[in-house]
Each structure stands twice: as C-alpha cells, then as structure tokens.
Amino acid sequence: MARVDRARISIEDLEGKADVGDKTWEMVSVALGAAKDCIPLIPNFAFVNAGAVTTAVNFLDNAVQKGKVMLLYDLCREHCGLQMASHTTMNAGVRPPAHWVNST
C-alpha cells in the first residue's frame, strides 16, 4: 500500500515530463474513463489495464502523441513500483515477455 500512497500526487507533473498535450490527454482520459478529468492522480493511470491503454492510444491519429502517452503510462507505472508495460520504453537490457516476441 505504501507505493500507492507515495504516488498519490497529481499526474500533471509527469504529463509535462512526457510532453503530453492537454487535448491528447483529454482524448485518452475520455476513452478510458468517459470523462476528461477522470485520471487526476498518477496511480489512477498506472493501474489501468495495459490493453485498455493500448486501445485508447490507438484512437489517436498522431504516432508521436501515441508514443508520448505510452511514455506517460510507463512513467506512472514506474512511479508506483510497477514494471513498464510499453515495449518501446523498456530499458535496452530488458527482454520483453515471450508473448511479445513474434515467433515467425
């Protein structure tokens, strides 16, 4: 419980670090929670299912904004002591889970 308590801070600081624009964040918030202000705290985003985040991000038209939102997601997860979820933001030395690797 301590990691969640430590993370109970506004998501705005990490939004700035990931350079996620207000309009983009509003679209993602609405896609995930049906309201533009439904994700005010870091753990509110960190503990959302990765599949749901991916689905929401895929509605964005801009690939750069998609990457920024996924970076924000991983920053939030890291802040809460969770593993990174995005394949593109993992450390170079970290192997992705086996189910991510194309076996063809």
The C-alpha atoms of residue 58 and residue 44 are separated, in whole angstroms, by 20
Q: What is the pLDDT of residues 73-86, one digit of tens each?
A: 999 999 988 988 87
Asked, for residue 100, whether it belongs to a domain, the answer is no
User: Which residues, 6+ apart, have CB-to-CB distance to 36 below 8 Å?
Assistant: 26, 29, 30
Asked, for residue 99, whether it belongs to a domain, the answer is no
CB of 65 closer than 8 Å to CB of 24: yes
Q: How many CA atoms lie within 13 A of 57 on its CB side?
A: 21
The C-alpha atoms of residue 55 and residue 78 are separated, in whole angstroms, by 21
Does the pTM exceed 0.85? no
* Domains identified in the chain, total number: 1
Asked, for residue 54, whether it belongs to a domain, the answer is yes
Choose between 86 and 14: higher pLDDT.
Answer: 14
